[in-house]
Amino acid sequence: MPAMPEKNQQVLLAHAGLVHAVVHTCHNRDLMPQLEQLLKLSEDNGWNQLVGVIRRIIAGQRDPSVLLGLDDEDHVIAEAILLGLQNPESLPDLNAAPDPEHAAPGLASMIAASRHGNVEALKALADMATQMQRAGGDMARLASALSQMEQGEDDLDKLIRGMNPAGQTLVQKILNELRNQQ
């Protein structure tokens, strides 16, 4: 993955599966039924504008104008899809985990914003949680912890139950960031 701002890297790591699925489907239309399920789930989570752009990309629109009007996160995802279609080596690493040192502040900001009624932050958390649930294991436990934190839970022992040390560290860092933002 090329060098880019840390926030964008974290967005790509969180949505690497979607980026890969769209690129692979553009090259192999037999994969469309599986992608369609993912797109439907994304629409159900309120990502209608991004899904609309993805559908335009699948239909063959590859020029940068397809990115116009997208918010920052959607823009990063759609741009990664376009770059991946041109150069598969640019695709985000499916096996890379978000760096806790950099993920915690962004996740804490999203949680704080959703606690204050920010619909975009709430949708972003829901989408991330859906993808994490699908991954299973610690990612699913992290998704549950994020949801609980969004609802106001701040008991570390409750949030990290069953997590490996890396997950525990990330949750602790998110809680610290949330406390610093108050």
pLDDT on residue 24: 94
Biggest alpha carbon distance in the chain? 49
What's 78-142 look like in SS3?
A: HHHHHHHHHCHHHCCCCCCCCCHHHHHHHHHHHHHHHHCCCHHHHHHHHHHHHHHHHHCHHHHHH
The crossing angle, in degrees rounded to 10, of helices 6-14 and 72-86 is 70
Q: Say how far residue 43 (Cα) sits from the centre of its chain.
A: 14
d(CA 126, CA 60): 29
What pLDDT does residue 97 have? Answer: 61
Query: What local confidence, expressed as pLDDT, does residue 3 receive?
Result: 44
Report residue 44 as tokens.
């159900």
pLDDT, mean of each 10-residue run, the chain (182 residues): 60 83 94 88 82 96 94 92 95 71 76 84 78 76 90 93 88 90 73
pLDDT of residue 6: 67
pLDDT of residue 99: 61
Predicted TM-score (pTM) of this structure: 0.59
Cβ-contact 45, 127 below 8 angstroms: yes
